[in-house]
Amino acid sequence: MPHAPSRRGAAVTTSHASDDIRLAERWRGLDLRLLPIDEVDVRILSRLRENARLSNVEIARDLAISEATIRRRIKALEDKGIIQGYSCYLNYQLIENPVKAYVHLSLEPGRRDEVVSKVIAHPRAVAVYRVTGEHDVLCVMFFVDMSELHEFLDKYLQIDGIRNLETQIVLNPYKGVPWTGV
């Protein structure tokens, strides 16, 4: 059932549609004047996040808003960099026997840029983060199989600047991240 958008500046409230609720929960209670989006944008983003292949006409019908308004708002969200692209999620487990690993690196002082540049250049690096705590860098890696992981650890990471490393292998997800396939 379509719902009327609230006026800009009102606090984000959840709607009756579960898609809106998931994304709107992130900004619940915030004054939208502090954000570069309003509730209509949240509802559009919710639809696109659930299915990026929806047409503007389908979104307009779902939200009871004109197709021209949807088109303009999506273009504005793209221009602002809020929508950065559209993706297709793959289930790698149906294609191969993937290994998702978290590699924690402790680095020697002054060597972070050098080590991070090398890790980022690896084709299996999904994400590389500077972190707080016991380690300096967290690498999220997605390998085709265990032999690739072994080669990464035993050969690729044998570089100056790494003081210590620890690896965690994901056995199975309780709640996965669809864009990484696991």
The rounded distance, in Å, linking the Cα atoms of 156 and 162 is 12
Q: Which domains does the chain have, with CATH numbers?
A: 18-79 (1.10.10), 92-180 (3.30.70.920)
Task: Identify residue 112 by its one-letter amino acid code.
Answer: R
List residues bridging with 104 in a β-sheet. 138, 166
Cβ 37 vs Cβ 45: under 8 Å:
yes
Output the pLDDT for position 42.
87
pLDDT at 1: 37
Model confidence, pTM: 0.61
Q: What's the token pair of residue 180?
A: 């990484």
Other beta carbons within 10 angstroms of residue 48's beta carbon come to 18
Instruction: Report pLDDT for 24.
Output: 64
**10-residue averages of pLDDT along the chain (182 residues):** 38 42 65 77 88 93 95 94 83 71 96 96 95 96 92 95 95 73 56
Q: What is the pLDDT of residue 36?
A: 82
- Tell the burial category of 33 from Cβ atoms under 10 Å away from its Cβ (0-12, 13-18, 19+): exposed
